[in-house]
Amino acid sequence: QIGFSLSQCHPFCHQTQVRPLHGSGCGQQQEAIGMETRPETFSIFRTQENDPACQSEQHLGQYYTVPPSHFHTVFPHGLPPRYQQQVKTFNEGCVMVRQPALELISHLKRADYSKPTLRYLLYGVKGSGKTMSLCHTVHYCSTQGWLVLHIPDAHLWVKNCKELLPSSYHASRFDQPIQASNWLRNFRTTNEHFLSKIKLRQRYVWTKRESTEEGRPLGELVDMGVSRVKSSSDVVGAVLKELRLQAGGTEGGFRLAVAVDGVNGLWGRTTLKKEDKSPVAPEELTLVHNLRKMINNDWCGGAVIATLSQTGSLYAPSSAYLPQELLGEEGFDSMDPFVPVPVSLYSEKEFESCYLYYLDHIHFHHWLQHPHSQTEEGKKELIFLSNRNPSVLERLCAFL
Amino acid sequence: MAASLTGLLKPWTPRVLLVRWSRYNPYYLEPEPRKEVYHIPETELTPEQKEERELKSVRPIKAATNSVTSSVFNDPVLSKFVNMMMKDGDKIIAKGIITQTLENMKRKQVEKYHKAPEGKKAETECNPYAIFHQALENCKPVIGLASIQKGGKFYQVPIPLTDDRRRFLAMKWMITECRDNKHRRTLMYEKLSQELLAAFSKEGNVVKRKHELHKMAESNRAYAHYRWW
């Protein structure tokens, strides 16, 4: 396992783009020449190690760039909206290597995949970087060739649903066609290469005239779910079941990573109502029901990485961030036992790194524009105003 | 002043009263929010500053308003603009709109910077504060009109404007233009950022309104002698 990942990191090390810190006149010239020039000085806040498998404690606090070719396949959904705006403005996606993500990746490297799945839960105060750590881990899983099941926000499935159809498969459950078909489309983008390799082990009957036979590739099932929106929730259920059965398999086995953001939305209450105005419980939604089965640790050959989120959550106080408070009794009992991974605010070193990244002139971000923000006084004020909270700092630097 | 009021305090009177907009006795001095003034060591003070310090240790000082900060990012012109945008005393919303406007302007300019060819890169201004100040300068009218009555008729007479009046007019035009003449569904920060960027490059409706005012003043120069001040 370790040998495999080392041999994979060498091609990345040589192919990454290298830019010097102090450009001045020769900076533009070097960029015109190409990528082969080595830097005379090194960046304190950037690292050339773009492969998550090769990152270690020495890279803590440094930013690595997600290669642009990977970006749209690995993250069609799942990134926080402000980060997506930042990527569009800066023309590059840089992620900071932080302690929680490195810890998760080291657990994933050393876990035994013949045993039942381990569940990891990222928790922390609002804005401390849980979703970004999750995305870092998802990038690692996808570079290692795992099949990634990334649910960008479980809260989106329990609120604001315009169309709630009664399920054809089970009388008392409800389907959500729009959400299910959107998710299937993004799933298809992420895992293109797996869709033809995995074959179905069971026959699925959709209507009197339509069925998907045993042995057909998974891609066909997903395409059907995207085109026939009415049965897309059931298709999601079928896809999850197939992946669960085949994940630990010895012949052509793949590792399955289930990454759920805002997992506390699966237990608790929903804001959806039935036609007689009575509230819908989460169990009565097909998507939630199937996802809960996925999060159980009764299958092997993969990992479940989850994040708590107060931001989109329903009926939870804004000061709540601990697993016990956000998951509730039922959720905690279902998730138990799990590996808790706390995500803290920026340390001093991480803050420095973030500040230097926003101040970076060489990559021509020109982000921190206010003349006073580039002084010591301004930096102390930024520390005071943001309390080193990553998202608050990002919002402050956006208008300064 | 405060000593006379304590006798009249009842249990239901709030302990914290608004005093800033009440008329202070001229004996009271203005507060000094800037940090640099307090960091000057004893030896480097000029005689006036020494006198001022001694005076401050004796005299009472007025309460500072809520909008005064010792922050390095404090900008009096921007604060004035925020106050003019504010409706019903809701400064949080007004400040939020202005910060979103600044961010939006910065994003547009940074994207323009990345797309610009090498020669033009240095010319694109990415600092939203610089753009805001320059845009406001470009909107300020040089000369104004006043309605003066002479012989039963009212004439529009060109008059000089003070700096404060010019700044007020520029801000007022900017805000009314964004509120009235734009598409209903665009948000205020989007409208403001478009208008400010246009004013920065001397295009747009606000600059047009300034030019029209100048033209009116030019056409009415015959009546300039009706002004007696």
pLDDT score of A72: 86
Report the distance separating Cα B93 and Cα B91, nearest Å.
5
Query: Do B129 and A378 make contact, defined as CB atoms within 8 angstroms?
Result: no
Nearest-CA residue of chain A relative to B101?
A399
Q: Is A17 on the interface with B (CB under 8 A)?
A: no
Do B222 and B109 belong together in one domain? yes
pLDDT tier, A250 (very low <50, low <70, confident <90, very high otherwise): low
Q: Could you identify the residue written with the tokens 């060489």?
A: A362
The helix/strand count (H/E) of chain A reads as 15, 11
Q: Which of B78, B100, B110 to mutate to test the interface with A (most CBs of A within 10 A)?
A: B110
Residues B68 and B79 in one domain: no
Q: Which amino acid is at B133?
A: H
pLDDT tens, residue by residue, A65-96: 999 888 888 898 889 999 999 998 888 888 99
User: Which of B11, B46, B72 delimits the end of a domain?
Assistant: B72
What whole-number distance in Å separates Cα of residue B214 and Cα of residue B145? 9
d(CA B93, CA B75): 18
Kindly report the nearest CA distance between residue B99 and chain A, in angstroms: 6
- Produce one character per residue of B217-227: b if its CB has 16 or more CB atoms within 10 Å, e if not: beeeeebeebe
Please report whether residue B62 resides in a domain.
yes
Q: Residue B119's closest chain A neighbor by CA?
A: A28
Query: Are B51 and B131 contained in the same domain?
Result: no
Helix axes B163-180, B205-219, angle to 10 degrees: 130
- Taking a C-beta distance cutoff of 8 angstroms, is the pair B173, B210 a contact? yes
pLDDT for position A92: 85
The reply to whether B12 falls in a domain is: no
The residue out of B57, B72, B87 marking a domain boundary is B72
Report CB contact under 8 Å: B73, A373: yes
Interior angle at CA A100, CA A98 and CA A103, nearest 5? 105
Whether the predicted pLDDT of A329 surpasses 70: yes
Yes or no, beta carbons of B72 and A398 under 8 Å apart: no
pLDDT in tens, A189-242: 888 888 888 888 888 888 777 888 888 888 888 898 898 888 889 899 999 988
B108 in a structural domain? yes
The parts of chain B modelled with pLDDT lower than 50 are none
* A110 CA to centre of own chain: 21
Question: A364–B114: do the CB atoms touch at under 8 Å?
Answer: yes
Confidence of residue A2 (pLDDT cuts 50, 70, 90): very low
Rounded Cα distance between A201 and A214, Å, is 5
Query: Could B118 and A377 be called an inter-chain contact, meaning their C-beta atoms sit closer than 8 Å?
Result: no
pLDDT reading at A345 higher than 90:
yes
Same domain, B147 and B49: no
Quick check: A23 pLDDT over 50?
no
Q: Report the complex ipTM.
A: 0.84
Residue B168: CA count within 13 A, CB half-sphere: 6
What pLDDT, on a 0 to 100 scale, did the predictor assign at position B130? Answer: 94
Please state, in angstroms and rounded to a whole number, the distance separating the CA atoms of residues A318 and A325: 11
Give this prediction's pTM: 0.84
Residues A370, B129: C-beta atoms closer than 8 Å: yes
Q: Which of B72, B118, B126 sits opposite A366 (nearest CB)?
A: B126
pLDDT digits (tens, 9 = 90+) for B203-219: 999 999 999 999 999 99
Cβ contact A133:A103 at 8 Å = no
Q: What is the mean pLDDT of chain A?
A: 83
Q: Is the pLDDT at A34 greater than 50, yes or no?
A: no
Query: CATH number, domain at B136?
Result: 1.10.455.10
pLDDT surpasses 60 at A8: no
Residues B135 and B193 in one domain: yes
- In B, minimum Cα distance to A379 occurs at B72
C-alpha distance across the termini of chain B, in Å: 40
Domain that holds residue B58: 23-72
Q: What is the dihedral of CA A294, A140, A115, A199, to 10 degrees?
A: 60
Residue A362 has pLDDT above 80, yes or no: no
Which of B 89-128 lie inside 8 A of A, CB atoms? 99-100, 102-103, 106-107, 110-111, 113-114, 118, 121, 126-128
* Nearest by CB: A378 against B72, B102, B127: B72
Q: What is the mean pLDDT of residues A260-279?
A: 89
- pLDDT score of A206: 80
Q: Give me the mean pLDDT over the A342-347 stretch.
A: 93
Count up the domains in chain B and report the number: 2
Strand (E) or helix (H) holding A238? helix A232-246
Nearest to A146 by CA among A5, A32, A323: A5
